[in-house]
Amino acid sequence: MKAIGVNGSPRKKWNTATLVEKAIEGAVSVGAKAELFYLYDLNYKGCISCFACKTKNGKSYGKCAVEDGLTPVLKKVNEADVIILGSPIYFGSVTGEMRSFMERLFFPLMTYTDPPGSLFCRKVRTAFIYTLGATEEMARERGFDKHIALNEMLMKMVLGASETLCSYDTYQFEDYSKVYAPRFDANQKAKVRAEVFPIDCEKAFKMGARLVRELR
Ligand SMILES: Cc1cc2nc3c(=O)[nH]c(=O)nc-3n(C[C@H](O)[C@H](O)[C@H](O)COP(=O)(O)O)c2cc1C
């Protein structure tokens, strides 16, 4: 059983990284082998619309034909049993690197049929972990939940299954006194970090373990 974590945050030790690592630890705790990738370490671009993946009888039909730093990661994700993606929300969406990764992973597998179909034919379990500076209420007011729900729908359509874990109101700066950010209450942020973030970490761990168990 192979579990893959893909972190779309530029920060390797912060909120998203911690939660993706917890989910992977959960998967490992029930016997999975795991590998973790940091997208910001890789040199790649998003889909370039070459349509090699859609060309009839083409050698790349159903696969991304672009060769770059993402190619080995796409191969491993395509072979994994449990796929855990993680991204902060930047301006209401996943980070640019995560978006580019998603284009390269999902577009080749998705068929332009009516209704759309998928060329992915293995049974896998997947999850997407999001971290947001906004509270859950603010996220709903600003429509971030719609973007998150759309991604879940896309992953279910292409990979067959997916679930979502959101960690809200995250602690963003190492030292709030050193940045100009008057809209944040540093004490409130520290309270959420101390009281809520550990619960989210526990949820991520349990989710990772459950995804592996569900495949047995
Ligand atoms: C460029 C940028 C844009 C952001 N945009 C949003 C946003 O639209 N909504 C939100 O809730 N948080 C936003 N945030 C906050 C991050 O999503 C939040 O702090 C997240 O937990 C950071 O993840 P990390 O700790 O893994 O880096 C933004 C942060 C940055 C740096």
Quick: pLDDT tens for 62-90: 999 999 999 999 999 999 999 999 999 99
The stretch 113-117 carries a mean pLDDT of 95
Q: Which of 9, 76, 70, 67 has the alpha carbon at shortest distance from 43?
A: 70
SS3 of residue 35 by DSSP: strand
Which pTM does this prediction carry?
0.98
* Ligand 1 mutation target, pool 13, 91, 168, 179, most atoms within 8 A of CB: 91
The stretch 181-203 carries a mean pLDDT of 97
Answer for the pair 26, 205: CB distance below 8 angstroms, yes or no: yes
Task: Report pLDDT for 52.
Answer: 98
Average pLDDT, the chain: 97
The stretch 170-194 carries a mean pLDDT of 97
Centroid of ligand 1 to alpha carbon of 64 (angstroms): 29
Determine the Cα–Cα distance for residues 115 and 49; give it in Å rounded to an integer: 21
Task: Report pLDDT for 6.
Answer: 98
Task: Report pLDDT for 184.
Answer: 96
Task: Report pLDDT for 173.
Answer: 97
Minimal-distance CA residue to ligand 1 atom 12: 133
* Ligand 1 mutation target, pool 144, 170, 171, 174, most atoms within 8 A of CB: 170
Minimal-distance CA residue to ligand 1 atom 30: 90
User: Cα angle at 144 between 201 and 183, to 5 degrees?
Assistant: 80
Task: Report pLDDT for 9.
Answer: 98
